[in-house]
Chains A and B, each alone.
Chain A
Amino acid sequence: MNATLSLAWRLLRGGGRRGLLGTWLTFGAVAVSTALLLFAISANLAFDARAERGAWRNPVAAKSGAVAVQATRLDYVAGRPITVVDIAALGDRAPAPPGLPRVPAPGEVWLSPALRELARELPADRLAARYPEQRGTLGEEALVHPEELVVVAGHRPDDPAMKSRDRDVAMGSVKPTRVASFAGTPTDDAIGYRILALIAGVLMVVPLLVFGGAAARLTVARRDQRLAALRLVGATPAQVAGMTVAEAMLVALAGALAGTVLYGLAAPLLTRIEIGGGPWYTADLWPPVWIVAVALAGVPVLVGLSAVAGLRRVVVSPLGVAKRETPPGLRFVRVLVLLAALIAVPVLSRQAGVAVIAGALGLAFLSLNLVGPWVVAVIGRVTAARARRPGTLLAGRRLVDDPRSAWRTVSGVALTGFVAGFLGLLSPSADLLGSPDRHQLTLAVPAGQAEKAAAEARERLAVAGVRAEVETTKGGIVAALGTGADQAVTDRARTALEGLAPGHTATTEAEDGSTSAQVLKDVGTGTVVVLAVSFLVAIASAGITAASSVLDRRQTYALLRLAGTPLEVLDRARRSETLIPLAVMGGGSIATGVLCALPFMYAAMNVRGVLTLVTCVVLGFGGVLAAGALSRPLLRSVTADPAPRPD
């Protein structure tokens, strides 16, 4: 074993400039893969952590032994939602809720740091006046994210705010519930986010694994001639496999370490990505030690396995690498597999349960991965058939020759592109549902109290200096603030109406729809993140593919150049090899998404979303081109070396 390791180490070091280049490429690919893998896993864990921290505000009814009554509703300020948690202790057995030293006494309120800051910044009549008895600041364990606006208010158990029948069931509200503890359960929204995060994770990880595996085989491709020579001088298959695995794993371990460091450096920046209305706690995106350990051990093992797979030919026959034959054609049966999966996935997904959904999704993506290369090969055939220039002909033939390599580069973008294109154009606001009212506050009041409430509202608004027409409606009152009312006026009116109907908040139609708008916005942000990751994978993969294509064909390229073939033709072929499938499959999938979104554009186009999408696509395509161009000096160097024999 020691002899194998030391020979592997010597092979690695003595690989020559181009051998080392292959090693560096593998190192870089593994580093990028590991960093992105850690991101995909950490993001999922971060959503879990958010769901856990927010669970306590979603009370579970006690079967017996209730210690408190708890309710949740949404209030608003400056267009942002405030989560209001109302708590009334039943006796003195109630434990301290998360982030608090004790149950708040009746009348006391505890604010989240962001809300406290906002209350200090805004005029008192917009926000602070709603919380006359501020007792302290909520700890992180009570909050979903650092910018979250939360207030925990103490009440008496007999307070009208804590009576079920008097509470409405607006979006984001939970009726007063008798609880035995403050553990709660994750909200449906949080579970929805976890499922979306899981989908995003699968979308990022599948192309990564495929790409990482390909990168591993790169080391082998550089070495196979030499290893075949070792076989010829009598090395046993086990020795050859051992050496290859050892060499690939050494490189992969170094790459995985570098990737971990890379992720560590990037994590603080990633916390700024706003999802669910705010950024992340750094700790949320910091993977636990065991995940890092699994990645550091698992990535080299996967790379080693991939290397063994790549080496099988050499081990089977020492002459295995010398011959190059037409690869078996990809069969149409792959498309049938996808169709089967498309039927199976919705059926499977009907069974609730994250594991089943994840399994079904994985199945769908694997089927797409089966079909992807087949589509690339078809694109290659069409390109070759229609090619007039040698560069295009060469690119088309190469796509047919090795469609999997091109698919590795474009798969992520092709898979994410549709969703990104669809959401990029849509405006993530309640505008989707028409044009909601922003100048009219609606407040639910208990039955039979509407007239009295309307009179008091008029009085309170007059004192606050807010001009409004208050009328009663079925189930409550409406205060029309006039179209001239801005956000400040709306906030002042709301502050004035605070407590008029205990347990209720005056809201506008736009605010009532803001939760759905937030989800749509988050899905849009998530999609752009996944698209960006997909483009990163595409860029890294394009760089690797381009370099390995030059290295694999170095002799032919050199001889072609000797025979007078201009470098530009070879270069154009390499460029087209990536750009054609990327434009057809990635660009096509984005464009299809955009087209599908057009019928939903009732209101204005989401300019910011479109700009983000366009930036992402331009940077992505530019990056892919640049990554390909990086190997141009390599092409020049291998072809500028005219048969360097001294005789």
Chain B
Amino acid sequence: MSEVLGGYTLTKHFGPTTALAGVDIAIGEAEAVAIMGPSGSGKSTLLHCLAGIMKPDSGEVHLMGQRVDNLGERRRSALRRTRFGFVFQFGQLLPELPAEENVALPLMLGGVSRTQAVRQARDWFGPLGLQGMEGRRPGELSGGQAQRVAIARALVTKPAVVFADEPTGALDQSTGHDTMRLLVEATKHNGASLVVVTHDPNVAGWCDRTVEVRDGRLSGSAVPDQTFTQLLPGVQA
């Protein structure tokens, strides 16, 4: 499995607090990796550094072999828009836009015409079980439906990596289960890698590999692990 995204000896401090203390991590192609750890362990900081949201104090981040952590804010922003997709706990959909326009927005931002963007966006509704929801606004969707719209939005630009921060945190267990299954399947189907930050071992269970962050350091496998993937239930690699 070739490496898509890698972080090397990443460190990050917030005042006297050390969030990352020299973390090394590699994400393989179409691999799903769960980052777990207790509150305050540094797992969200790791996700933010890998996704180019935050600059690490030291260390490097590489995407497809190219260094990206030293890019300026504008280029990192463009990188996030075109090469990465994001799914958050909740509140990421614009309440005024109907679901299909929320999904089409990243394409329009990338210069795709509106008609084309909406057409492409609609293609995601069927596979994600959202038929008939295209014109609904986020307030008219259930939590699970809203998360599926968010998944469609994250994948519509065909990103290399999808980052998910507690994607099922606001959902009940059964809906969370369905949402995770869709997230993992759709991401893999799309050929993208997935990085999920979670507290929940059930969520981590959907991923090929789990790394644990404690006091800014990783425990668990920092590199792609085929055997680990094969032990997991329900994943079609």
Contacts and interface: CB of A to CB of B under 8 A. Distances in A.
A647 B39 contact: yes
A390 B41 contact: no
A569 interface: yes
B119 to A, nearest CB: 15
Nearest to A402: B96
B57 interface: no
A326 B79 contact: no
B78 interface: yes
A561 B73 CA distance: 11
Contacts of B39: 646-647
A556 B84 contact: no
Nearest to B154: A563
A642 B73 CA distance: 13
B53 to A, nearest CB: 5
Interface in B134-159: 137-140, 154
B140 A394 contact: no
23 contacts: A324-B95, A325-B137, A326-B140, A390-B108, A393-B108, A393-B114, A394-B94, A394-B96, A394-B97, A400-B96, A401-B96, A556-B92, A559-B92, A563-B106, A564-B77, A564-B79, A564-B82, A564-B106, A565-B105, A565-B109, A566-B81, A642-B48, A647-B44
A564 B139 contact: no
Interface in A400-438: 400-401
Nearest to A401: B96
B40 A397 contact: no
A564 B140 contact: no
A559 B109 contact: no
B108 A389 contact: yes
Interface string A608-647: 0000000000000000000000000000000000110111
A562 B153 CA distance: 14
A564 B110 CA distance: 10
A533 B40 CA distance: 53
Given A563-B80, A645-B44, A556 B113 contact: no
B95 A401 contact: yes
9 shortest A-B CB distances, which residue pairs? Answer: A564-B81, A564-B80, A324-B139, A397-B96, A401-B96, A559-B92, A555-B91, A325-B139, A390-B108
Contact of B113 (A388, A397, A553, A647): A388
A194 interface: no
A388 B114 contact: yes
B194 interface: no
Contacts, number: 101
Contacts of A393: 97, 101, 108, 114
Given A559-B91, A642-B54, A325 B140 contact: yes
Given A642-B53, A642-B54, A390 B109 contact: yes
Contacts of A559: 86, 88, 91-92
A210 interface: no
Contact of B96 (A398, A555, A562, A645): A398
Interface in B4-21: 14, 17, 19
B224 interface: no
Contact size range, B:
35 or more
Interface string A539-572: 0000000000000010110011111111001000
Interface of B: 14, 17, 19, 37-45, 48, 51, 53-54, 74, 77-82, 84-86, 88, 91-97, 101, 105-106, 108-109, 113-114, 137-140, 154, 165
Contacts of B41: 647
Given A397-B97, A401-B96, A556 B40 contact: no
Taking chain B's interface residues, is the majority helix, strand, or loop, or is none over half, making it mixed?
mixed
B86 A647 contact: no
Given A390-B105, A564-B78, 15 more contacts: A323-B139, A389-B108, A390-B108, A393-B101, A559-B88, A559-B92, A562-B86, A562-B88, A563-B84, A563-B154, A564-B77, A564-B80, A643-B165, A646-B45, A647-B40
Contacts of B85: 563
B93 to A, nearest CB: 7
Contact of A647 (B37, B51, B88): B37
A647 B79 contact: no
A512 B151 CA distance: 78
B94 A560 contact: yes
A566 B42 CA distance: 27
A387 interface: yes
B139 A326 contact: yes
Contacts of A325: 137, 139-140
Contact of A565 (B48, B51, B81): B81
A646 B19 CA distance: 7
B47 to A, nearest CB: 9
Contacts of B74: 566
Taking chain A's interface residues, is the majority helix, strand, or loop, or is none over half, making it mixed?
loop
Nearest to A565: B109
Which residue, A400, A401, A555, A647, has most C-beta atoms of chain B within 10 A? Answer: A647
A393 B41 CA distance: 40
A393 B106 CA distance: 13
A146 to B, nearest CB: 54
Interface string A312-334: 00000000000111100000000
B81 A556 contact: no
Contacts of A387: 114
A328 to B, nearest CB: 13
B73 to A, nearest CB: 10
Contacts of B114: 387-388, 393
A645 B96 CA distance: 27
A556 B94 contact: yes
Nearest to B139: A324
A553 B91 CA distance: 9
Interface in A73-113: none
A559 B51 CA distance: 13
B44 A643 contact: yes
Contacts of A324: 95, 138-139
Which residue, A388, A563, A646, has most C-beta atoms of chain B within 10 A? Answer: A563
Contacts of A561: 77
Contact of B81 (A394, A401, A563): A563
Interface in A241-273: none
A525 B139 CA distance: 48
A334 B222 CA distance: 64
A394 B43 CA distance: 33
Contacts of B78: 564
Given A326-B137, A394-B96, A397-B97, A566 B44 contact: no
Contacts of A564: 77-82, 84, 106, 109
Which residue, B42, B84, B105, has most C-beta atoms of chain A within 10 A? Answer: B105
Contacts of A398: 96
Contact of B42 (A326, A642, A647): A647
A332 to B, nearest CB: 21
B106 to A, nearest CB: 7
Contacts of B86: 559, 562-563
B13 to A, nearest CB: 11
A511 to B, nearest CB: 61
Contacts of A323: 139
B92 A569 contact: no
